[in-house]
Structure formats: C-alpha cells, structure tokens
Structure 1
Amino acid sequence: MKKTIIIPLTIMTLAATACQQGGSSEENPLLTTPATPYGAPQFDKIKTEHYEPAFDVALAEARADIEAIARNPEPPTFDNTIVALERSGNRLNSVATIFFALQSAETSDEMDAIAERLQPKLVEYSNDIYLDPVIFQRVKTVYDNRADYGLDIQDSMLLDRTYKSFVRGGAGLDEAGKERYRAITNELATLSLKFEQNVLAATNAFTLNIPAADSAKVAELPDFVRESMADEAAARGEEGWTVTLQMASYGPFMTYSSDRELKEKLWRAYNTRGIGENDNRDIAKRIAELRLELAGLFGYPNYAAYVLEEKMAGNEATVDAFIDELLTATKGRALEEVAELQRYAVASGLYGAGFELMPWDWSYVSEKYKNDRYAVSNEEIKPYLELESVKQGIFSLAEKLYGITFVPNKEIPVYHPDVVAYEVHEADGSFTGIIYMDFFPRATKRGGAWMTNYRPMYTEADGTEVRPIVTLCGNFTKPTSSTPSLLTFDEFETFLHEFGHCLHGLFAEGKYASLTGTSVYQDFVELPSQIMENWATQKEFLDLFAVHYKSGEKMPQELIDKIVASKNYLAAYANVRQLGFAMNDMAWHTVTEPVTVSVEEFERTATAPAQITPYISGTAMSPAFSHIFGGGYAAGYYGYKWAEVLEADAFSLFEEQGIFNRDVAGSFRENILSKGGSEHPMTLYVRFRGHKPETKALIDKILE
C-alpha cells in the first residue's frame, strides 16, 4: 500500500484574481467546486498545465490560514489553535492529494518535472509551520493545559498528535538546529522523489524481445503468457514476443520458461534496477546519512529509534526480537524447502546432476514442483479467477460482511480509460464513498499494487460529514485478443489485500481527517488488508464467483485443498524472504555512522542471516527498495510481518464464528476499520479480540 499525505480536504472556490497563471480559478478544475457526483475530482478536465497554478493559489491560501492562527489576539484554545491547524490548508491538501496520487498511477515526464519543482516549496511550507515559534507556543500552551478543556477521545488524540508533530518537526530546536532541519528535509524530499523516478525509469528501460525466428523459445509457454508477450511486442512495434520488467510480464515468463539463459538475463536486469543507468546507490546512502543526522538533531542514536517511537512496536529492541523470533522458528523449515526443490529439480529430470538451484530458477522449479506434488498450477487455477468475476465476488463478500453495495457510475470522471468508478452505499441506501478501480499495468504507472485516498473522511465544523474517495491500483494480468483477464492466485490475494485497505478508508468515521481511515500507526495499517487474504481459500466464499470462465464449473474443493497445501509448502521460505527485507530496512536505519562500503556489500551483510538461496554478486534490492527510500516504510517494513501476527489471530475469530458472521464483521468494522487513528491500536485490537496478539498464531500457520 502507498499512503499519500492525509490532511483536511475541502474543495472551495477562490476569486479569479487569485490565480496568477494558467487562467482564472473558474477555468482551473483544481480550483473550482466540482459539478460531479459527490464532488469527485474533475479528472476529465484536469490538464498538466493546471497543477502549478493551482499549487501557487493553494499554498498562498494555506499560508494565510496559518498566519491567521499565529496572529489571533485571543488566548490559545483547543478550537482556535489545534482544530484551526487541522482544518487549515484545505485546498492545498486537495490539490496535493490528486497530483501525487496521479503521479503514481498516470505520470509523465512533465509531471515528474513539476514534482521536482514542487517538493522544495511543500517542504518549506511544512517547515515554516512546525518551526514557527509563535505557532508552537500556542500549541504548547494548549497541550500544557489540556486538562482544562474537557476533551473527548478524538480531541485528546488530535492534541497529542499535533503537539508531538511539532516537537518531532523541529519546533524545540535552537535556531541552528532549525536551519539544519530545513536543509535536511528539503534534500530528503528531493532525493526520495528522484529515487522513485529512477526505479520507474529503470523498470521501463529494459525489455527482452524474442524474434519470430526463435518461436521455439516460447512454444512451451501457456497461451496467456505467449499472447501477452505478442501483444506487448506489437504495442512496441516489434516482431515476435517481448517481456518487460513489469511484474505482470516478468513474473509469468520466469514461472513458465525453462530457458535459464534468458531467465538469468531477466533476473539480473530486475535485480540491478537502480544500479548503473538510473543509479540509486549513492542516493540510498545519502538518504540514510541524512536520516541519521535528522535523528541526531533530536537526540536519538539512529533513525529507527526516532521512527519507532511512533509505531506500535515502540522501539528497536522490540522489532529485533520480533524478527529474531520469527526467523529462529522458521529458517530451518525454509532451508528444508530449498533443499527439497533442489532435489526435485534433478530427480524429476528438469535439470542434470550438476544443477544448482539459482534465484532465477526458483519460480519455474517451484511451479513445476507444486504441479507435480499437489497437482496444481496457475494454469489450472487461472480459468476460475476471471477478473470481472473476482471483482463481483469481492463485492459480494463486502456485502455479506458489512451490507454495502457497489454501483458503477459512468458520470464520475476517471483519469484513464482502464479506470472504473463505483459508488458505495450502506444497506439503508446511505452514501459510504467512492472507489476507483485501476487494474492493469502501463508505462505511465508504477509497479505493484496500492490503495490511496483522493479524499479522506472528516466532519465539517457545522457537523456535515465529508465521505471518502479511495482508489485501488494494481498491475494485474491484462486480457489478450482471445482471453479475458485471468488472475494468478497471487494476483487474487493482492486484490483482496488492497481491497481491505480500501474498506479501511471507506468505513472511516470521525471528526478529523488526520485521524480517520488509514491514518494509523504504520505497523497497524496492514491488519485490515492482510486479514482479507484469508478468504482467498474459503470454499464458501469462492463458490460465490470462482467458476471456470468457459464451462461455468465451480472451483472444486479438491483444487482449493491443493492450493492451500501448495501455499503451505513454501510458507517458511516466503516468511524468511520477507524477514530479510525487514532486516535490510532496519540495517539502513540503525547505522550510527554514514555508510562507506558499497550498497551491495552493506545489504549482503545485513541480510546474511536470512540468506537461504545463493547470493549473486553485483545485484541488490536496496537501489529499487521504494518502500523505504521512496515511500513511507523506513524502519517500518517489519510492519508487514507484524500485521500478519495480528491478522492470523483476528481471523481465527471468523473461523470460530463463521466467515460471513455479521456480528464478528460488525465488531471488526466498529473497533478497527471505522476508528482510524482515534485511539491507540493495541486498545482497539484488544477491544475487538479480547486479548493481545501473540506470534504463536502466525508461526503455527507457517509451519502447519
């Protein structure tokens, strides 16, 4: 999941004279009240040239809001200071949310250039607020006298977060410290943006074309892979078949091709993104150095200590112990799984006696092994997971659990022809929100899958609720000229995962945008998404939609049992692999001196305890590790495993009471999904489950 900044969002009209270029505000769709259903963004009217003028207007307005708070002659109160800060910059948040969400989903060279120009302005604006001694003194006065205001839970949390954000944003530093903080945050914003741009450029820069004369190289591939490659080649004006580094293209080829030479070439290209052309190695080292320096300004020994103070885990020792516990419990099984695949590859005749299982062999051998041992393959599964049917099935699941319905609305503008907008309604017909669904890869879209808010839920000063607008983006298998989009099982789970994030956003309730929806501790935000993956192998759920797209036959229980068994047999390997990512993240953010060794050497040392396949010299994931260097998961990647502990324990209640049980679902919605960040996540979890989570549930699940 990718999270954009979530600040109050109200779209208001500004006088025409406020816009300095790009036409009047009445002509700029980012500055006018949308005449669209539910105030949805005017994607059909927004053009690239509208962004910078809109940002100029919105920044000026936001600065005026802050100035009014600072100059208020009245003594500081919760309403005139804390709530006023929360509601400031409404238009800026609207413009920024739209722009940065589209920069992930539908970018261009022009948008990337605009982002580079905008980042310093936005960081400067943020710093001007948090480093303003007058504003901070007002916030501190309210915080010091908080017992006098009779605050409810949401108010108290808003005050606590606001005060801490100022302290952690440099408000308490001396002038030299503030000046250095400004410089560090400006440089970090620029470098993180450049890191993301380099990853996308590196992903798009490499393709592998197999000429028509080499048809034997693709003859073994399933029809859907071959057709997809042919379509890709045709779209590029090439003959034959083309593979890209987009996962929807790269993944199937690595899974079904036996050509080790081509697969090694592809694997090395994928795992050297950000090395060489579009190089991110120095950027990664500089980001780590700047983060260390930033933490030092506040007296922390490293950046992880600074970050984890505001996480559910709380500190580095807890994270390290958590990772070590899971690694110790599962590494032995993971090594057994690797050894078993090695033996199978030779015994089955796939490769000769001298064969050594290499990383580029993993997908192919594991797929063959899964097919032989469990008599199941993606080719067998995919016909039951036609995308449109899966979508309707997931909608049906949400209706059974929560009573909501999804209605497509073509009157809601979209930003690309692939995108479909849906209204979401409660059982009583009341409006819940809007969800956009954007499923397929394209050159203008970053890889992976994510949920983003276009508008968070909040309550206006007069009590009017503003309902959320969210989007689900993926890079799923595209339809071909002869076959509809048929999902792999992994893609199906990904759909469920991101849909869980969307429900978290859609079910948001509360007064303040900064506390609703997905605005929660990062190591808690994956619970609503990861719990959804559990339904992927429930026959009662699959019967709602998982039918063969040609015959109409329901997915048989035998196949489901095989899927479960095949998932379990590599669960330990997958777990250790994820722990390696988390260890790499923690290593970068627990350094106490700038990194002087190469990125490749640093990463190899950091992940050595979790290395269970051969290390390949010259490769590294760090230069393309967008989660920690371009996104918001620095010192937080462990949160995926942390959330797995939560979801394994939480889903056991559904297993006990029924996977469609409305009472359990209602409790999950009331205590987890709707509460956002209004209370501490452990308080919310215990209220739902009745006890604190334990790692045993996850370890048992991995080793079963």
Structure 2
Amino acid sequence: MGATGGEVMVSNPPGVCTENHLRWDLSPEEIRGKCAEVIAERRKAYDAVGSLDLDSVTFDNTMKALAHTDAEAILHMNMLTFPRHLSPSKEVRSASAEAYQKLVESEADLTMQRPLNIYQRIVALGMKVDKDSLTAEDKRYVQGWVEERFRRTYPQVNCLDTSDNLIFETKKVYGSLDPDSTDNILKKLANINVAYIDQMNMADYLRQVSPSKTVRKASSDAYKKLSELYEDMMLMRDDVNLRIENSRCEENSAMLKELAKLRAQQSALQGFKSHADSVLKMNVAKPAKKVSTFLEELAHKLKPLGDEERANLLKLKEDCQKRGVPFDKNLYAQFAHGQLMEYFPVEVVIRGVLDICQDLLGLSFSLVHGAPVWHPDVTLYCATDRSSGQTVGQFYLDLFNREGKDMKSVCGYCTNPQPGCLLPDGSRRISIATIVTAFSKPTADCPSLLTHSEVLTCLHEFGHAMHLICAQVDYIEFRSFCVEEYFAEAPSKLLENWAWEKEPLQRMSKHYKTGSPIPDDLLDKLIKSRLTNIGMNCLEHIVMAELDQALHRKTTSDPAKEYARLYKMILGVPVNPNTPAPFCNGDGKRYCYLWSEVLSMDMFYSRFKQEGIMNPEVGLDYRKCILKPGASKYTEEMLKNFLGREPNQEAFLMNKGLMPHKA
C-alpha cells in the first residue's frame, strides 16, 4: 500500500537529478492557490525576457531563461491538473478541473500577448550569438520559437490584431468541446457492456469444458439467459448511444463548425490554402494532397478484403438468426479470445511486460516501496540502465477501476507529469510517466483476469511509457510526446506486436489456478486471429481520417452529409439513416494514427522480426535511435538511423494480408 504526499529520492551518480517532485496530497485550496501562482510567475518570467535591452541579450538570459521557466511551469501544471480524473476526492477532482480550465485560458493569453517582444530579443540574439557554440538541440529550440510560436501566431505584421484574436478565440472554443456529461454516460455504458460480455464468455467456456456435469448445466442455463437478455441490452445500448450522439451533436456541432471556420481564417492569414495544409506543414511535414493520396490508395487496396469480411459477417449473422441466438459483431470478435482470460492474470501479464521491456531495452525495474501515491492501488517503479546503474526514469502503475476514476471511455492512457530535461545547474531531471488502465479488481476468490485486448492495452501504454522515460533531451519542448504527430503512436503500436508472438505471449501468461501455459493449439488460433476483420476496421479508420481532412479543407462541408458520402464510397454500404455523423475533431491530423502504424510495422518487421523479437542488440539500437532522442531530432532522421534506409509501407501491407511475407 502506498503513502500519500511527499517526494521520492533515489540514489544515483552525480549529474542526474533523480528527485521525484510530484505531490499527490494537494488540497483543493492548495490547487487553486498554486494555479494562480504558476500563471502569475510564468507571465512575469516571459515579460522579463520580453523587456530585456536588445544589446544585452544572451543565450542564457533569453532561450535558457524561457526553457527553465517552461520546465518548472509545466511540471506544476501537470501536477495541478492530473488529479481531475483520478483523485479519490470529489473536491480535489473539482478543484483540479477548475485549474485545468484556467491554465488553458492562461496559455492562450500567454501565447497571444508576449511572443512579439520575445521574438525581437531572439532576432537580436541571432545577430550576435556564435552559432558554432550552440548544440543541434539549442538551434532546434530557437527554430521552434521562431517558426512554431511566432510565425504561426503573427504571420503578417499588418494582420497582428486579426490573427491574435482569431487564435485566441480558436483556443477558447477548442477548450470548451467534449462535455463531461456525455463522456460519463459513455464510460458507464462501456463498463456495463464489458462486464456483460465477460460473464457470457465465462458461461460459454464453462458449459463446454467443465469436468463437472453440474457446472456445465448451470453454465448452460446461465448462458441461455444471458443470450436472451443480451439482444435486449444491445437494443437499449443502441438507443442510448443514439441519444448520446444526438446530444453530442446538439452540444458540440455548432462549436465544431465555428472552430473549423476560425481555423480556416487563421490558416489563410498564414498563407495556407486550408487549415489541413497548415497543420500538416507545421506538425507533420506532409501536404494535405499527399495525405489524401495515402488514404485513397490504402482504401483501394483494403476494399476487396473489407468486402470479403463483410460477407463473412453477414453469413454469420444469418446463421445466428437460424439458430435463434443474438448477433453482435463486436461480441463475436471477443468470443475468439474468451477462453484465454484464465491464462492472463494481471500480475503475470505485468510481470511479463516488465521483463520484456527490461530485456529488450537494457533496463532494470525496481519497485519503490512506500512511495507517495494518489491511491493505495498505485505503485511506483524506478528504471535504471543495466550497464551503468544510472537511473533512467520512473513510472507509476494505476491499473484497477474504482469509484471516481474517470477513464473517459478509453481502455488506458499514459501521461508524463514530470518531463525530463536539463536543469539550470546542468544536472538532468529524470522523466516520470504514469500508466492508467481500468482493469477489474481482483477478488478473494479470483485474481484480475485480462482479455487479450487488455493485454494489448497494457503493451500499448508501456510502449508510450518507455518512450517517455528513455528520452534524454535538454529542453522540455522535445519530450517524447512532442514528436511529429504522425509518429506519436508508433512506439506504442510497435510494442503491441509482442502480443501476437509466441515467445512473449508465453512470458506474459499462465493459468491462474494450475500455472500451466496456454495450449499450443489455442495459442496458434490466437495468433491467426490477428487478421480478423482487419480490413473493415482499417477502412473505418480511413473514413474518419478522410472526414477529418474534409472538414478542415472545406469549412462549408456539412459533417453528416460528408460522413454519409465517405462511408458509402469507402465501405461500400450506405450509412444507417438514424446514425448521426460522429463527432470528429482531429484537427486535420486523424490520419496520423494510421501512419504511425505504418512506421511501427516497418520497424518491427524490418529489425525485430528479421533479427529476433527478443534480440537485445536490436532493442538497444531502438532505444538509442528512436527512444533516447525524444523529439530533439526529426522523425525521418531517427527512422533512417534505425532502419538504415527511408521507411516504407511494405511491412504494413504484409501485416494486413495485402502482400506476401518475405522469406
């Protein structure tokens, strides 16, 4: 059981600040007071840089001063806003949510009012500084201030006021989207559905394999009753979902249209044809036309596979109707993995994932006993480098569902409350990550058993966490989550591959009663099931990515009509007339998740699959070339260093069954 409050220190060689500055015992009053203090101090620091005499500017009193200000402010901002979804105290969650809104508003104000004066100091610095004395990361930091903070805010001197107001209003509208009420309803609905499916899975499994006739009879009766009720529950779920979506449309559609309009005007001032072009140019370095071509070509290649899968599902639906049993495509996708749950107790899975990450990346993880945490279920681990013994970072695990833990309808997520960076004294502050999931809690009779989908979630979030703690960057702006948008999910998608390979699956599993491994025939079926409905699922992602691009290329587009057009064109069937257009606010970057998968597959198949999925040399190369730089290098450079060539789509297409595997 963890403690609360305080800070954590770990012994370490000089040069690395291993202090964990995070506090989890802040009261509502302390959160509100500290929020006001952080806002005021950051404004004061920015004003100090912006008022420097132009002749007196140095790299230390401009760029380093801004960097240290942001590093300290972001640490405290994360600490103040983190509790809003996880604190056991309703009052603390409320105060944290208030702080989040105030900090969002202050951030918009800060980036509107102060960059011009700061930019003038940076220009003066550029005229006098010895550029050879700057590191590559120093130069990129300066470039980031000039290109991303200033030029995007003030594209034309004669349009300063107009652009200023547009961006401020855009950020305000964006901050007000996605009301909590609908998210909470969706979260509760998702939890009910998952629990119901788990019961059906277990009943179906026991009625077939239990050695006890009594258990088989009871399980068969339970399965029959659950099946009869499930169809009614599906109708109720669809009705609730429809009302929620309509509610979201009523609450958010007007703001989304206004947001698209403001973004379009802002981008026009910056000289772009559309907001999609602006975002892709500044963040992902891919023009909207290239993105569209990528999505269209991928949809064309996947269309035959999607058609075949749809035909199989329709046949399965007909068979279910003949047998008088309910049909739900999501349910039947999960039934394929229902028997596996007994082999995935959460303690075994976590131990296996920890071992895989340690062996691949040359790390050692140790539990920090008595560490201050926000809930007794939470644990803290310290990661050290195996060869040097130096502390690399830390990560928290908050795995189990509980009252007041708002997962906002997601399976899990990873955050970076303490980003790593260089401190003013030259020491390096370690990066600290948090992995948050909503797994069912163990009981006195049974441990927490995971579905294979939850094992994937676990690996996905560990992929993010390893990216965060292994990065060693000088500036907080280059922490791992700040990589180009199209690469952000690649490290997490990469680690998911270990959930489909025999050796790591065996390391992450054993029967919760007998300790026996997963039978080979069941393991083979699981690995083959990776291709189940893969075409349809990918096509649905393409629909959403195309919709996101369309809304930010042509702001007059009607979301519902555009969604119906794309759905019919890409999936080949008309959208249900009672289904409203999904709320799509991807900011023109929804396609990035697909491109992250392309890159992750290239890394996995080209290096790990070819040279050994548990090959420590490949793992160390990956840590050195991909994880360690964080966002301090461009993605293309990091990938070329790791792959030895430019990335391509071949591995992605092989994984989808669209190309033969190479010998």
CA shift in 2, pair 1:552/1:506, >3 Å: same
1:188-229 Cα deviation digits (max 9, x unpaired) = 33543442534424425769999xxxxxx9997244899xxx
> What do the CA deviations read for 1:53-96 (whole angstroms, capped 9, x no partner)?
11221222212222221232344343332222222244421221
Instruction: Judge conservation of contact 1:509–1:517 (CA < 8 Å) in 2.
Output: no
Q: 1:169 to 1:671 in 2, by over 3 A?
A: same
Residue identity over aligned pairs, in percent, reads: 23
Query: Following the alignment from structure 1 to structure 2, what is the Cα–Cα distance between the partners of residues 144 and 176?
Result: 26
Name the CA shift for 1:606/1:177 in 2 (closer, same or farther; >3 Å). Answer: farther
Q: Which amino acid aligns with 1:436?
A: Y
Out of 335, 343, 351, the residue aligned to residue 321 of structure 2 is: 351
Q: Paired residue for 1:299, among 271, 277, 290?
A: 271
Q: 1:551 to 1:393 in 2, by over 3 A?
A: same
Q: Does 1:122 align with 2:107?
A: yes
Shift of 1:175: 6.5
2:410 paired with 1:429: no
> Per-residue displacement from partner, 1:342-398 (whole Å, max 9, x unpaired)?
112324xx113999x9xx821134456xxxxxxxx3221111111111100000001
**Equivalent residue number for residue 98 of structure 1:** 79
Which residue of the partner structure matches residue 638 of structure 2? Answer: 684
* Whole-angstrom CA distance in 1 between matches of 2:353 and 2:173: 39
The answer on whether the counterparts of 1:257 and 1:263 sit within 8 Å (CA) in structure 2 is: no
Instruction: Provide the secondary structure at the position in 1 that maps to 2:382.
Output: strand
* Paired position in structure 2 for 1:140: 123
- Mapped to 2, the partners of 1:257 and 1:404 lie a distance apart of 51
Partner SS for 2:366: strand
User: 2:104–2:175: 8 Å Cα contact kept in structure 1?
Assistant: no
- Cα 1:287–1:264 change in 2 (3 A) is farther
Q: Tell me which residue corresponds to 1:266.
A: 237
Q: Deviations over 1:500-536 (max 9, x none)?
A: 1100111011211111323211111212111101111
CA contact (8 A) 2:22 2:79 kept: no
Q: 1:201 to 1:690 in 2, by over 3 A?
A: same
Query: What CA deviation, in whole Å up to 9, does each residue of 1:122-146 have, x standing for no partner?
Result: 321232232xx32111223445677
For the pair 1:221 / 2:193, whether they are aligned, the reply is no
Letter aligned with residue 500 of structure 2: T
CA contact (8 A) 1:36 1:42 kept: no
- Aligned mates of 1:224, 1:483 — CA distance in 2: 16
Amino acid at match of 2:84: Q
Contact 1:435 1:470 in 2 (8 A): yes
Deviations 1:242-278 (A, max 9, x none): xxxxxxxxxx9xx978733321321343355352278
Distance, in Å, in 1 between the alignment partners of 2:181 and 2:272 is 31
- 8 A contact 1:671–1:685 mirrored in 2: yes
TM-aligned CA distance change 1:183 to 1:417, over 3 Å: farther
Matched to 2:183, the amino acid is L
* 1:281-360 aligned within 5 A: 281-347=253-319, 350-352=320-322
Q: Report SS of the residue matched to 2:178.
A: helix
Code of the aligned partner of 2:409: G
Shift of 1:426: 1.8
Q: Shift in Å at residue 552 of structure 1?
A: 0.8
SS at match of 2:244: coil
Taking structure 1 as reference, are residues 142 and 622 closer, same or farther at Cα in structure 2, changes over 3 Å only?
A: farther
2:322 corresponds to which letter in structure 1? G
The normalised TM-score by structure 2 is: 0.85
Identify the residue that residue 647 of structure 1 maps to in structure 2: 600
Which residue of 2 is the match for residue 82 of structure 1? 63
1:22-66, CA deviations, whole angstroms, 9 ceiling, x for partnerless residues?
A: xxxxxxx8xxx9476654355442122222211221222212222
Pair 609,150 (structure 1): closer, same or farther in 2 beyond 3 Å? farther
Q: Report the secondary structure of 2:631's partner residue.
A: coil
**Cα gap change, 1:202/1:605 in structure 2, threshold over 3 Å: closer, same or farther?**
farther
Q: Per the alignment, do residues 489 and 692 of structure 1 end up closer, same or farther by CA in structure 2, a change over 3 Å counting? A: same
SS at match of 1:166: helix
Moved more, 499-508 or 263-272: 263-272
Contact 1:127 1:169 in 2 (8 A): no
| Cα 1:256/1:77, change in 2 over 3 Å | farther
| Counterpart among 301, 322, 331 of residue 364 in structure 1 | 331
User: Superposition pairs for residues 149-548 of structure 1, below 5 Å?
Assistant: 149-174=132-157, 177-182=160-165, 184-203=167-186, 221-223=200-202, 259-270=230-241, 272-276=243-247, 279-347=251-319, 350-352=320-322, 361-367=328-334, 377-427=336-386, 428-442=388-402, 443-445=404-406, 446-448=408-410, 449-480=412-443, 482-548=445-511
| 1:604 matched to 2:564 | yes
Is 609-618 or 484-493 further displaced after alignment? Answer: 609-618
1:656 to 586, 603, 610: 610
SS of 1:437's equivalent in the other structure is strand
1:53 to 33, 54, 58: 33
Q: How does 1:14-93 map to 2 (within 5 A)?
A: 34=7, 38-41=18-21, 43-73=23-53, 74-93=55-74
The number of residue pairs the alignment matches comes to 616
Asked if the contact 2:420–2:471 (Cα under 8 Å) also holds between the matched residues in 1, the reply is yes
Q: Which of 622, 645, 653 is 2:582 aligned to?
A: 622
Unaligned regions of 5+ residues in structure 1, if any?
1-28, 211-216, 227-251, 369-376
CA deviation string 1:443-497 (max 9, x = no partner): 5412312211011111123320100111111233444564322111111111111
Deviations 1:533-566 (A, max 9, x none): 1111222222223111111111233222211211
For residue 406 of structure 1, give the secondary structure of its aligned residue in structure 2.
Answer: strand
Distance in 1 between the 2:202 and 2:43 partners?
57
Cα gap change, 1:409/1:541 in structure 2, threshold over 3 Å: closer, same or farther? same
**Amino acid of the residue matched to residue 83 of structure 1?**
K
Are the counterparts in 1 of residues 82 and 96 from structure 2 also a CA contact under 8 Å?
A: no
The SS at the match of 1:398 is helix
Closer, same or farther in 2 for the Cα pair 1:209/1:590, shift >3 Å?
Answer: closer
The unaligned stretches of length 5 or more in structure 2 are 11-17, 206-222, 659-663
1:582 is aligned to 2:530: no
Question: Partners of 2:357 and 2:199 in 1: how far apart?
Answer: 39
Aligned residue number for residue 236 of structure 1: none
CA contact 1:312–1:682 (8 Å) conserved in 2: no
Deviates most, 438-447 or 145-154: 145-154
For 2:104 and 2:598, the matched residues in 1 are separated by 36
CA contact (8 A) 2:383 2:391 kept: yes
Could you tell me how far apart the structure 2 residues matched to 1:502 and 1:219 are?
Answer: 28
